[in-house]
A and B are shown apart, each in its own frame.
Chain A
Amino acid sequence: MADPARKLLTIPELQEKARLLRVETLKMTFGAGSGHPGGSFSMAEFLVALYHNRMNISPQNPRDPDRDIFILSKGHCAPGLYAILGDLGFFPKSEFGKLRRFGSLLQGHADRKIPGIEMSTGSLGMGLGYGNGCALAKRIDGRAGRVIVVLGDGELQEGNIWESALTSSHRKLDNVTVIVDANKIQIDGWTKDVKDLGDIAAKFKAFGFWTKNVPGHDMKAILEAFDEADAVKGQPQCLVMDTQKGHGVSFMVGKPEFHGRALTKDEMVKAMAELGEKWTPEVAA
């Protein structure tokens, strides 16, 4: 996955990228008046680690057949992904301010029409099977590159995921890496109350995956986990990221309400201050 000649960011640099992802996500969703900031925040660390230090992708050649393929199966958390893709130059950052607006590029959920997006998502449960399909095509054509699929933990309640997990292991797709963003909250509350997922790693292990539990906001641990998964041969891998929904802004952590709503003006002032960003409603207007 990693290009040896590539200049990698240091851990402090990656942490700064994660902070900026949170800032842009809040600004985007505040501007739109809706969106899903909480689940974008739980992904922030592993997304920037993947995009800046591990994946082989290029805005100049976004359809390179040897590229790594990233699939955001939990497509409602698109703003966090858009923040990275804009930063990397897949589209102008000026699009951020038009999220969810009529006629704009950035759709409410991840959309394949947007440069850098490999799959239109928004309906849960379909990303892993789609990723398997991409991996099978790479196998027929003898192409390099991994397929990375990000699933939500609540999303694992979809049966389609487990049909696809059987396919990943039955076909020994060792170029498929699943990342579960285990932030423990879904729309109607805590996943353990809605429908408990139990031991997620144990479930994927039983389905034939190599698995690892990872502290999902620890940049060093995340990078090491990617390298370990990369070295696995003969079976797909699953990294279960232990994350917090809303991580990075104290009053958003552990609050199901921030799954699917933008912040109010007062909340924005507080959140931006916590993120070390100067922001006033007047600037945003």
Chain B
Amino acid sequence: MYRQKYIFLLPGLLVLVAIILFPLLFTIRVSFSSWDVYNPGLNWIGGENYARLWEDARYWEALTRLSVLTVGTVLLQYTLGFALALLVWRDIAARRFFRVLFLVPMMTTPVVMSVIWRTIFHESLGPLNPILDAIGIGAQPWLSQAGHAFAAVMIVEVWQWTPFMFLLLLAGLLSLPNEPFLAARIDGAGPIRTFLSVTFPMMGAISVGAILIRLIEASKLMETVYVLTSGGPGTSTETTSYYIYIRGMRDFQIGYSASLSLTYLIVMSVALTLIAKALIRLMVKDRT
């Protein structure tokens, strides 16, 4: 009789297989083929793509660069997002207006915003350099020097995704119980002490969740790089996703790009699992 329950599970399982497992299994199969512009189809070449990948310095450099970019931008987003959330958590004038305003960047299309930012950073025609000139900082080679281009990508990412952090952390702050804050006040704790001893620890779980979600998203960084710098100058802003895009879509090395994608998936899964464990240990006191 209880076997009938499997029949009811079947539609859901079929959908799961169709939209998650099949593409993944197909990608695994493709990664063992030499499918490219001149060898279409699923032949079998064993682990050749993976051996080639191992020696592909540009791929590993892109992965290292991505790690720096991801950790750097997410930390900045967390810090700024937390600060903004704290700002509008309490009663301030025009609180509702600011809450909506802070969300605007997140609601814009990444590609379109990257185009806008590219125009802003444009060293001849963009508005940023004249402003910097006017205030005495001087024009900067935003997109033509490696360090500046890297910073430009980070600025756009932080600008676009800080609101996401803000949203999650504000929701967390609004859900905190009032009693610990009352107790802290009775004990004479000032704002900094209250933040360090009450607010921040109680926000541990939601902070870990927000950071992990953003790390996962940021590790797929592609549109901003594509539009803003095309991975340049040189390869200084080339991320893993952009490199896989070049190999897969531009060079049409379907088999090789599948192996790059799967390796990337494994590396990121392992890395993010380790980061999640470390963050939980550091930031969440009640781990039951």
Q: Are A and B genuine complex partners?
A: no
